[in-house]
Amino acid sequence: MYFIFEIIFQSDKSYLFDLIEALAKQGGIDIEIGFADEKIVLVCKRDDPKLESFMKLLETSLPASIYLKSSRHALSDEKPQIKSLQPNRLPLDLSLCPTCQKEMFDVSSRRYYYPFTSCNACGGRHAFLETYPFRREHSVMKFMKPCAACEEELHANPLRKDYPLISCIECGIPLRMVDKKSERYANDKGTYRTLFEVSARAIAKGKTVVLKTLHGYRKFYKPEGKTNPEAILFIADVNALNRHLMMVVQEFNALLSIERPLLRIATKSDEAKAHFGSSVWTKYPDDGMSMLLARELINAGLEYIVYEPCDEGEDADFLVDFDLPVTPQKDFRLFINQDTFLLIDGERSIFPQLVREGKHGRVSVAAGLVCVDTEAGKIIDKPVHFAKIPAREVYVAEGEKVVPENAKIFPVAKAAMFSVLAEHDKLHESAVGVHFDDRLHFLYYNRKEVIDVVPPRAFEADNLFARIAELREGSDRLVENFRAKYPALYQRLDNLSGEVDLFKVTAILLELENESFDGISEMALSFLGKGGMQIDTKIEDNRFNDYAFLASIMSFKLSGAEQPILCYSIYESFGDYIADIVTQLMDKTKAPTLTLSGATFANQSLWGRIQRNLALKKPLLNKNYPIGKENSVYGAQFL
């Protein structure tokens, strides 16, 4: 009789598989493990005496993950055949697994309050990488020799077997704290803890602390009054989440996952609303440095603080630093709507990525990332991590700052559609696609190429009000009434020139504090009604008219419509327009597949409208890649 245990893990990354494999060796159980088709499968004999203890070890040692969906078990008289992909053992930057966290807070451990604690399946590994392949001699720790205890652990501890970045307090990285008057170092258990204790107490007293983390420099401080829109809520005490934020279970679990995403969450308490407004980007401690700071913040009586990403030279009362250089990744943002999880944009825990398809010899470049052929296969990462980049042809996304000679420039929208089709193995089917990032594109894939069938017009801010005045009869009176009621706002908008982001112009028109797409999204979240107003999306040649859109908002603003309902209505109207064009295209082309891409879809109002209007068409989006521009570095492999 065989015991079969299946874990649904909807990702091609293998860190959970690697951890389970190491735990099985640690538990001494005779078990077979496979990983394929978004499942981790474990098979062993039902009467194995170590089975029960191993399952308990799994229960306490597996971290939460945004990709971990469910598990089930079964018994079988016959041993099933299980398959496994080649493990994707690239050095991702993750939070700490439960075992490493326990070690870091165990006073008897030689890693007590050591912020660089990690193992083969967790921690900040990519931050230390210099070049591939991932080995100690290719990392910034290459000149640091492991102590005798770490050397022994490389052979005896399955979690750290041959681990390139193994270290502890005895052989690891010291910290340095600098203020206006003095400098102190941490290099043993007592001084490590004291450093974080001093930092937390300083913040509690209203001081600012710049902390070098594995994800870059962050300026931490206690919020007073309304915070900077760029500030991120940093939750120290998990109990504070439900006190101050309006969360669903999926958001709570995602915040505490090993991937530690940024989530925009609605505020609940009056205190949180006063600091952050109706919603705030939120982070739970995500590396050893921030976890240790959080522990001492709780001891200092603080449930939460805020931080802003910053540069090394940022002015602050205290600086906590270490001498080794790290290469931080852009944090990734996650969108959740019921059971829908979308990676919005960013790099951390998503890249580096092993690409199992693509054209040999083709290098693609987008969003600061590059897809390169290596001995281990195609890898997507930052160019700095490749000692050499062999290429027969180079494809570079439009808008990239550096363009090599003879490179082919590709449209992001077309590559984004290819990325979705390739991920879902739909390259053999015709499809309609919608790409909505800075601009809105409607696309058609004919099984050979992607065609931009309804390309957007460039939005020019020059002569904005003159263009609006010419829209239709009465538009000139609208402009005059707007100038009379909002003279300063009229003057500011009239001074805009050149190609400007439509969402920024919209945010200025609505007089939002955060003049961006994020500002509109944040205000839309504060609308508590059941339906919005129909913003004019006048269409010419099936294309969206930006000036009619802005004129409609001006009209509603003059009639007294408030910011929340206007922001909510903007996305509702976009959703209706998209659904109308998509329906026409799919009816005309008979394409069976619909793809969506672009970071703008990560909006509750828009997504709700898309779900209502297009749910039956079962739209496909990226799974292992962000829906934002980063997906095009993968999609360009199929152009």
Q: Which of 303, 328, 353 is the last residue of a domain?
A: 328
**Position 233: which residue type?**
L
**Position 181: which residue type?**
K
Q: Which residue has the higher pLDDT, 291 or 84?
A: 291
Residue 137 is classified by DSSP as G
Confidence at residue 518, expressed as pLDDT on a 0 to 100 scale: 80
Confidence at residue 498, expressed as pLDDT on a 0 to 100 scale: 83
The backbone torsions φ and ψ at residue 44, rounded to the nearest 5 degrees and listed phi first, read: -150, 170
- Residue 165 CA to residue 142 CA, distance in Å, equals 9
Residues 487 and 603 in one domain: yes
pLDDT in tens, 183-193: 999 999 999 99
Neighbours of 264 (CB within 10 A): 21
Residues 72 and 151 in one domain: no
Confidence at residue 543, expressed as pLDDT on a 0 to 100 scale: 65
Q: Which of 299, 328, 357 is the last residue of a domain?
A: 328
The backbone torsions φ and ψ at residue 523, rounded to the nearest 5 degrees and listed phi first, read: -70, -35
Residues 200 and 264 in one domain: yes
Per-residue pLDDT at 548 exceeds 70 = yes
pLDDT in tens, 319-371: 999 999 999 999 999 999 988 999 999 999 999 999 988 899 999 999 999 99
Per-residue pLDDT at 539 exceeds 70 = no
Q: The tokens 């990285």 sit on which residue?
A: 173
The backbone torsions φ and ψ at residue 32, rounded to the nearest 5 degrees and listed phi first, read: -110, 135
CATH of the domain at 60: 3.30.70.860
Confidence at residue 462, expressed as pLDDT on a 0 to 100 scale: 87
Residues 6+ apart with CB under 8 A from 333: 261, 262, 263, 264, 281, 343, 344, 345, 346, 602
- Residue 461 CA to residue 214 CA, distance in Å, equals 40
pLDDT in tens, 494-517: 998 887 888 889 999 999 988 888
End-to-end, the C-alpha distance of the chain in Å comes to 50
Confidence at residue 573, expressed as pLDDT on a 0 to 100 scale: 87
Residues 470 and 573 in one domain: yes
Measured torsion, CA atoms of residues 345, 346, 352, 358, in degrees rounded to the nearest 10 = 30
Residues 208-215, mean pLDDT to the nearest whole number = 97
- Residue 314 CA to residue 220 CA, distance in Å, equals 11
Contact 377, 87 (CB under 8 A): no
Contact 524, 564 (CB under 8 A): yes
Confidence at residue 605, expressed as pLDDT on a 0 to 100 scale: 87
Residue 228 is classified by DSSP as P
Residue 357 lies in a domain: no
Q: For 3-66, where are the alpha helices, taking DSSP H only?
A: 15-27, 51-61
Per-residue pLDDT at 529 exceeds 80 = no
Residue 85 lies in a domain: no
**pLDDT tier at 523 (50, 70, 90 boundaries)?**
confident
Residues 371-388, mean pLDDT to the nearest whole number = 92
Q: Which helix (H) or strand (E) holds 99?
A: helix 98-104
Q: For the chain, how many structural domains are there in total?
A: 4
CATH of the domain at 471: 3.30.420.40
- Residue 492 CA to residue 31 CA, distance in Å, equals 68
Per-residue pLDDT at 291 exceeds 80 = yes
Distance from the Cα of residue 297 to its chain's centroid: 26
Return the half-sphere exposure (C-beta side, CA atoms, 13 A cut-off) of residue 164: 25
Residues 6+ apart with CB under 8 A from 375: 133
Residue 317 lies in a domain: yes
Confidence at residue 482, expressed as pLDDT on a 0 to 100 scale: 94
Which residue, among 471, 472, 436, has the nearest Cα to 581 in the 3D structure? 436
Residues 179 and 299 in one domain: yes
Q: Which residue has the higher pLDDT, 175 or 516?
A: 175
pLDDT in tens, 461-500: 888 999 899 888 889 999 999 999 999 999 999 998 887 8
- Residue 390 CA to residue 368 CA, distance in Å, equals 18
Confidence at residue 455, expressed as pLDDT on a 0 to 100 scale: 86
Contact 363, 101 (CB under 8 A): no
Confidence at residue 530, expressed as pLDDT on a 0 to 100 scale: 72
Helical packing angle, 51-61 and 15-27, nearest 10°? 140
Distances (CA, A) of 461 to 70, 441, 468, 503: 50, 20, 11, 12
Contact 378, 371 (CB under 8 A): yes
pLDDT in tens, 564-586: 999 989 888 889 989 999 999 99
- Residue 241 CA to residue 256 CA, distance in Å, equals 11
Residue 322 lies in a domain: yes
Residues 125 and 38 in one domain: no
Per-residue pLDDT at 69 exceeds 70 = yes
Residues 248-263, mean pLDDT to the nearest whole number = 97
Q: Which of 6-10, 375-379, 526-530, 535-539 has the highest mean pLDDT?
A: 6-10
Residues 6+ apart with CB under 8 A from 329: 93, 126, 127, 215, 346, 347, 348, 351
Which residue, among 588, 619, 625, has the nearest Cα to 606 in the 3D structure? 619
Residue 344 lies in a domain: no
Per-residue pLDDT at 617 exceeds 70 = yes
Residue 314 is classified by DSSP as -
Residues 192 and 149 in one domain: no
Per-residue pLDDT at 444 exceeds 80 = yes
Residues 615 and 497 in one domain: yes
Residue 245 lies in a domain: yes
- Residue 109 CA to residue 103 CA, distance in Å, equals 6
- DSSP β-bridge partners for residue 596: 434
Contact 437, 599 (CB under 8 A): yes
Mean of the per-residue pLDDT values of the chain: 93
Residues 261-290, mean pLDDT to the nearest whole number = 95
Per-residue pLDDT at 531 exceeds 80 = no
- DSSP β-bridge partners for residue 76: 2
Residues 196 and 310 in one domain: yes
**pLDDT tier at 241 (50, 70, 90 boundaries)?**
very high
Residue 7 lies in a domain: yes
The backbone torsions φ and ψ at residue 222, rounded to the nearest 5 degrees and listed phi first, read: -85, 130
**pLDDT tier at 537 (50, 70, 90 boundaries)?**
low
Residues 528 and 612 in one domain: yes
Confidence at residue 390, expressed as pLDDT on a 0 to 100 scale: 84
**Position 173: which residue type?**
I
Contact 85, 40 (CB under 8 A): no
| CB-based burial label for 1 (10 Å; 0-12, 13-18, 19+) | exposed
Q: Which helix (H) or strand (E) holds 413?
A: helix 412-423
Per-residue pLDDT at 541 exceeds 70 = no
CATH of the domain at 229: 3.90.870.10
Residues 26-44, mean pLDDT to the nearest whole number = 93
b/e burial code for range 240-261 (CB count within 10 A of at least 16 → b): bbeebbebeebbbebbbbbbbb
Q: Which of 27, 43, 76 is the last residue of a domain?
A: 76
**Position 443: which residue type?**
L
Confidence at residue 542, expressed as pLDDT on a 0 to 100 scale: 60
Residues 193 and 320 in one domain: yes
Give SS3 for 150.
Answer: helix
Residues 191 and 117 in one domain: no
**pLDDT tier at 4 (50, 70, 90 boundaries)?**
very high
Residue 556 lies in a domain: yes
Confidence at residue 538, expressed as pLDDT on a 0 to 100 scale: 59
Pull the structure tokens for residue 105: 């807070």
Confidence at residue 284, expressed as pLDDT on a 0 to 100 scale: 98
**Position 63: which residue type?**
P
Residues 402-417, mean pLDDT to the nearest whole number = 93
Confidence at residue 503, expressed as pLDDT on a 0 to 100 scale: 86
- Residue 118 CA to residue 124 CA, distance in Å, equals 7
Task: Identify the domain containing residue 130 by its residue range.
Answer: 98-160
